[in-house]
Structure formats: C-alpha cells, structure tokens
C-alpha cells in the first residue's frame, strides 16, 4: 500500500479555503491637528482678510490742577496711538482623486466605495497640510502668483516677543514693518544643529514675562514631541522644585501637562507635525523640525475661511471617476503682541 502524501493533500485542501483578510484598513499615521483644534473660526470675505488691533497707552500720571482747562489737560496728555490694520492672504488648498470604474465595482475588504474612501483620505491629508502651513512652515503672507497665507511665525515674530534659545545667528527676525513676513532660521552653519539648544524652564519663564508685559495672557505652549519630552525631563531634573505625581494605583506621572509660571499657567501640548523634517527658508533647504515652541492665547487666533472644504465630482474621465477637494482660508492673528515663541530649539 502506497504511503499517503500528507503534504500534497494539505496543499490541495487549502485551495478551497477562504482568504483570512480582515474587513478593515489600519492607518498608521496620525491625523490630529492640535493648533487648528485650539483656535477659533471666522468668515473671510475677500482674498485679503483684514482686521484691526489697538493698545492702551503706557501707564502715566493723569493728575491735573484744580480748575484746569480742557486745552491745558489736552496739551499735557500723551497722544494715543492709531489703530493698526493687519491682514493675511487666503491660500487655496486642493487635492484630486481618480478611481477606475473597476476599482469602484469590485468587492473590497475594508472599503465600501473606493472613491469615497480616497476622498476622506485626501481630506484628512489636507487638514494636516494646513496645520503644517500654520505652525511649521515659516510661510510668509504672499498675494502674488500662488497665494500663501502667513503662518504663526509671520505674525508673532517681533523681537520683543521672541526668546532665542539657540546660539547667535540661529534666527533672524524680519523687519518689523513687514507684517506677515516670517523670520529666517539657520541650523547648519558648520555641522548640523550646532546653533541649537535644549528648551529650558527659564525660556518659558522669559517668554511668559514678555507676553505679560505686552498685555497678553498666554495659556498654551505647543511644540514638538522632542521638545515636550525635554521640557518634562528638565522639570524633573536635579535641583528643580518639582515632584513626580504618584497616584493611588502606583502610576508615576513623568510628563508635565501644566506649567505654573510666575505669569500664568500654561497647558503644554505636543504637536507631532512640528517634529517632522520640513524644509523652509528662502533656499528651501533649512530643516525646521523641533526648531520652535509657540506660546499663545488661542482666543487671539482664528481660521478665516473664504471657501470651506468641499468636494467637487469632476465627473468621468474615460473609465475613471475624478474628484477634487478644495478649500480657501487664511490665519487671522487678532493681536500678535499678546503671544510669543521660543526659537533655536532641538539641539539634541
């Protein structure tokens, strides 16, 4: 009697088995947009969205003699500053989708409609792209050619509201008359990152003092995961007056989510996009990853939308369905002096 070929029989048996393919798709990349989620929204009515800022005179004595005339008081009074008019250009963001008729017709695991799935995917990508433009690209406001919105660094860049943590030359602030223009960064003078340093608790205190003295009240510090971790380590370092929290389950809190400074409490928020490698600057070769920490009052910022995110089905192109997602918006910074940033970070 011939011996049974178990290997051959097992292979033949498996030919009738169904594939074990899970009916879902796992997306590994993050889809959060922390800055966009933290700020408000408003409506833009033109491609150049404008707003006004104002401020009080510096405190001074207002004492006058009894019986002083209007003219005498007016002559002694300091002239008030005029309101400042600021603006930012709207930026058109768009992505396209093209899906074949066959791809929409076949029964796919994890996807009911390939066209709808691709639209949702590129829509999420556009949210992340906008987040990058707002806090990580050092975009300047530009109204010629392809319009670009000025990001955070194009408005909160006054030397009075910036703490430079890195070495001299790592950051050059723009001319203060050029509202909407981002500063320039340099991190590759001789060797990579030789001009950069770690974030320190003193940097946070310094920027909070600057904002407080300017009349603002920052409540949020947003930075990359590397800088967030570094700040937690500094807070728990030797000589620091902090204690790790141990709850009743024995869990140790190593991180810090709140920083109680002399000038207010800050919520510390990591933003993974700020830790990604991204080329910026005039030569588009300078990596801005981990370079800055934003210290701001979310009520001072709004996303001004001219055209909300919408999908347009272009129609059939041969045997494919073609669609496009478009939005047009910009960033409005109610009063840049009420916020600040720490630059020259990410040295280790």
Q: What are phi and psi of 296, to 5 degrees?
A: -150, 165
Instruction: Please tell me the predicted confidence (pLDDT) of residue 24.
Output: 43
Q: What is d(CA 259, CA 144) in angstroms, rounded to the nearest whole number? A: 42
In a domain, 211, yes or no: yes
In a domain, 320, yes or no: yes
What is the tens place of the pLDDT at every residue in 146-183?
Answer: 999 999 999 998 888 899 998 888 888 887 666 799 98
Per the model's pLDDT, the better-predicted residue between 297 and 113 turns out to be 297
What is the tens place of the pLDDT at every residue in 14-59?
Answer: 554 445 444 444 445 566 899 999 999 999 999 999 988 777 777 7
In a domain, 291, yes or no: yes
In a domain, 238, yes or no: yes
Q: What is the count of structural domains for the chain?
A: 1
3-class SS of residue 92: strand
- Sign of the torsion formed by the C-alpha atoms of 115, 117, 119 and 121: negative
In a domain, 100, yes or no: yes
Per the model's pLDDT, the better-predicted residue between 107 and 186 turns out to be 186
Q: Are 174 and 155 in contact (CB under 8 A)?
A: no
In a domain, 50, yes or no: yes
Cα–Cα nearest to 111, from 21, 197, 201: 21
Per the model's pLDDT, the better-predicted residue between 240 and 103 turns out to be 103
Checking if the pLDDT of 190 tops 60, the result is no
In a domain, 112, yes or no: yes
Instruction: Please tell me the predicted confidence (pLDDT) of residue 81.
Output: 66
Domain range for 165 is 34-54+83-343
Q: Give the CATH number of the domain where residue 229 resides.
A: 3.90.1690
What is the distance of C-alpha 278 from the center of its chain?
13
Q: What is d(CA 116, CA 80) in angstroms, rounded to the nearest whole number? A: 56
Instruction: Please tell me the predicted confidence (pLDDT) of residue 25.
Output: 41
Checking if the pLDDT of 313 tops 50, the result is yes
What is the tens place of the pLDDT at every residue in 264-309?
Answer: 899 999 999 999 988 886 666 788 899 999 999 999 999 999 999 8
Per the model's pLDDT, the better-predicted residue between 283 and 223 turns out to be 223
Q: What is d(CA 311, CA 153) in angstroms, rounded to the nearest whole number? A: 30
In a domain, 7, yes or no: no
């Amino acid at each position: 009697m011939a011996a049974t070929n178990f290997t051959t029989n097992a292979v033949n048996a498996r030919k009738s088995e169904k594939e074990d393919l899970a009916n879902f798709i796992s997306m590994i990349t993050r889809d959060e947009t922390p800055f966009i989620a933290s700020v408000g929204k408003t409506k833009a009515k033109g491609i150049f969205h404008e707003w006004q800022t104002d401020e009080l005179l510096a405190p001074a004595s207002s004492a006058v003699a009894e019986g002083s005339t209007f003219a005498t008081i007016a002559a002694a009074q300091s002239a008030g500053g005029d309101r400042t008019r600021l603006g930012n250009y709207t930026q058109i963001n768009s992505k396209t989708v093209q899906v074949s008729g066959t791809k929409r017709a076949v029964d796919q695991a994890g996807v009911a409609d390939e066209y709808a799935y691709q639209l949702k995917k590129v829509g999420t990508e556009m949210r992340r792209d906008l987040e990058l433009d707002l806090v990580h690209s050092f975009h300047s406001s530009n109204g010629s050619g392809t319009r670009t919105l000025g990001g955070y660094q194009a408005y909160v860049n006054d030397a009075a509201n910036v703490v430079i943590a890195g070495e001299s030359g790592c950051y050059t602030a723009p001319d203060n008359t050029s509202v909407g223009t981002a500063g320039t960064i340099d991190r590759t003078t001789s060797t990579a990152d030789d001009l950069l340093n770690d974030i320190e608790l003193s940097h946070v205190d310094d920027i909070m003092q600057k904002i407080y003295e300017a009349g603002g009240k920052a409540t949020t510090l947003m930075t990359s995961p590397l800088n967030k971790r570094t700040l937690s380590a500094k807070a728990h370092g030797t000589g620091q007056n902090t204690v790790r929290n141990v709850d009743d389950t024995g869990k140790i809190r190593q991180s810090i989510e709140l920083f109680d400074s002399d000038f207010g409490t800050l919520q510390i928020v990591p933003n993974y996009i700020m830790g990604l490698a991204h080329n910026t600057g005039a030569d588009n070769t300078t990596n801005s990853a981990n370079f800055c920490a934003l210290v701001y009052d979310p009520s001072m910022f709004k996303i001004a939308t001219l055209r909300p995110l919408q999908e347009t089905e272009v129609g059939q192109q041969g045997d494919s369905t073609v669609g496009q997602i478009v939005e047009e918006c910009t960033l409005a910074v109610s009063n840049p002096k009420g916020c600040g940033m720490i630059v020259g970070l990410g040295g280790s």
